[in-house]
Amino acid sequence: MVKETIRTFLTGENFHLQDFLGAHPGQKDGKDGYYFRVWAPQAEKVSVIGDFTTWFESPLEMTRLDGGIWQTFAPAQDGQIYKYLVQRQGGQVVEKIDPFARYFEQRPATGAVLIPSTSKKWKDSLWLGRRKRFGFKDRPVNIYEVHASSWKKGQTFAQLKDQLIPYLVEMNYTHVEFMPLMAHPLDKSWGYQLMGYFAFEASYGRPEDFQDFVETCHLNNIGVIVDWVPGHFTQNDDALAYYDGTPTFEYRDHDRAHNYRWGALNFDLGKNEVQSFLISSLLYWVEQFHIDGIRVDAVSSMLYLDYDDGPWQPNEDGSNRNRQGYSFLQKLNGVMKHHYPEVMMIAEEATADTPITSPISDGGLGFDYKWNMGWMNDTLRFYELDPIYRQYEFNLLTFSFMYCFKENFVLPFSHDEVVHGKKSLMHKMWGSREQQFSGLRNLYAYQICHPGKKLLFMGGEFGQFLEWKYDQELEWGNLAEADGLNQKMHDFTAQLNRFYREHKALWQIDDSYQGLEVIDADNKAESVLSFIRKTDKGELLVCVFNLTPVERQEFTIGVPVPGIYEEVFNTELDRYGGSWKEGNSNKKTETRLWKDYPYRLTFTLPALGASIWKIKRRFRK
């Protein structure tokens, strides 16, 4: 059994490595305690130290097994703290964390804590059954992205369970996504420089707190997505970095090992042992916490040799493809889809050179979704423009219709867009305060109506004006502003999210032109965009966006079906912060050619507003 476990580790086929390496309760010579195992293939000697050895007074020397694994038994108890002493080649002795620890001390300490294996009796079987049966492809996916420690300052998941989950329900989100929850040594990294790939971050509470949080989300019909970072890790000397004094988890080549842009170290994705480590980490989070989706961070950094700012060497044919990274990502997705095809795999990737969501069998990476960074960048650039100039840059808004089904996309307004001087989404909008809110409502309606799954970073839902700071909580006080506009924006987002969930046309066909028909993408002079979203049964939503502060009375578009149309959403109603007391009345189509359409629909289009219509009663053609 042990030999086979080690063999599959060394061949990159062990995907539950944490069940062997790390600390595990057991018995020896009739005594209870823990077995400790760690991989340090080039170490001269390894010892375990901790509360049970009075730390440095009586280190327990470990025995070397096959494959560079070291093992010992200690009469240790739950709750005690430990580390490893690794004697590197040449005699230098360093303290090291346990890479397979499931919990660490509160920062800045880095000792691993012995905790018993969780044996939670989950109550979310109904959710998991529905997830397996229905999947997510033709289901609504509207994600609220959260940084756990700054949604409200200093809360653990035991507290978030009682506050964040009711908020998600109130706001009508389908999913919540968390920036990394794995152990990390510094808040300033936002969790993206990981230390413990199997450890829940101690500042967020206990692992069982997060299990309870996920379970309660599922009982409230909310999916949970977690960010995960397999490309790079913290270079802190007491963590994974040069674990046994030689490149262990990182590349042997110095430049490939060092991530100069982020001050981190890159995993050697071609090493079998590293593949076992990372894939085991991924499955651990899905299995132990019933996670519904994983967003893989910084995929581009794993795909291209020249992605970083430092020196690099091309392949022998001059290409820049990181072939080990490409193969690893295919393997990662292949394993995940074999075990859990109903769990979303999402790539944070910004280039157009790699088929991210194409099947592995066709040479793609096999992700379910890719963040559409091009759409995000173009859209935000457009909405930041003075409306006078939007007619000259209208392609920023319409170009995405040319490629929106090249990949399966998530449309993200993420944390990266509201930091480092980029300004909040609200602050990006043009005009007076009232016009900024109009623009923001228009922007969110455009995102909801555009093909693709949706994501919005916390604070955006109520129009927070200041950009996000990782060490400060959201400006909840905005909701009590005297003019009431932030509160109305908050209510608008909740109603827009509800509208999205209730209308299949906005999510049932998100991956082909069968669900989309562009009415007019050429009205640059008036800066009006119009298109149709469809269900598989031919139900229609007509979506019209006015990108200028000029109200368009008697505005006409073409439609394919005659009948009486009803306006079902108007972003400029006063209850949302707009200037309209009530929306358009029902309108009857006119049988008259408009471009290639045999029927016309005429109505008033609000300034900086979006107007969405559906057929109330069809006429025979």
Rounded Cα distance between 177 and 145, Å, is 5
Q: Do strands 264-266 and 196-200 pair parallel, antiparallel, or not at all (unpaired)?
A: unpaired
Question: Per the structure block, which two tokens stand in for 254?
Answer: 């110095």
Rounded Cα distance between 179 and 194, Å, is 12
SS3 188: helix
Q: How many CA atoms lie within 13 A of 607 on its CB side?
A: 13
Rounded Cα distance between 559 and 519, Å, is 8
Largest CA distance in the chain: 92
Q: Cβ distance 487 to 165 under 8 Å? A: no
Q: Cβ distance 370 to 347 under 8 Å? A: yes
Rounded Cα distance between 429 and 563, Å, is 36
Catalytic one of 212, 308, 348, 567: 348
CB within 8 A of 165, min separation 6: which ones?
213, 216, 217, 220, 222
Q: Is 348 a catalytic residue?
A: yes
Catalytic one of 297, 349, 368, 417: 297
CA-nearest of 601, 619, 437 to 532 is 601
Query: Among all chains, which residue has been given the structure tokens 């000397």?
Result: 237
Q: Cβ distance 591 to 563 under 8 Å? A: no
**Can you give 536-567 as a three-state secondary structure string?**
CCCCEEEEEEECCCCCEEEEEEEECCCEEEEE
Rounded Cα distance between 199 and 334, Å, is 24
Residue 291: Cβ within 10 Å count: 23
User: What values do phi and psi take at 597, rounded to 5?
Assistant: -95, 135
Question: Per the structure block, which two tokens stand in for 132?
Answer: 């397996």
**Can you give 348-379 as a three-state secondary structure string?**
CCCCCCCCCCCCHHHCCCCCCEEECHHHHHHH
SS3 148: helix
CA-nearest of 138, 146, 171, 136 to 496 is 171
CA-nearest of 220, 227, 331, 221 to 276 is 331
Rounded Cα distance between 423 and 238, Å, is 36
DSSP 47: E
The length of the chain in residues reads 621
Provide the β-strand partners of residue 28.
31
Residues labelled catalytic: 297, 348
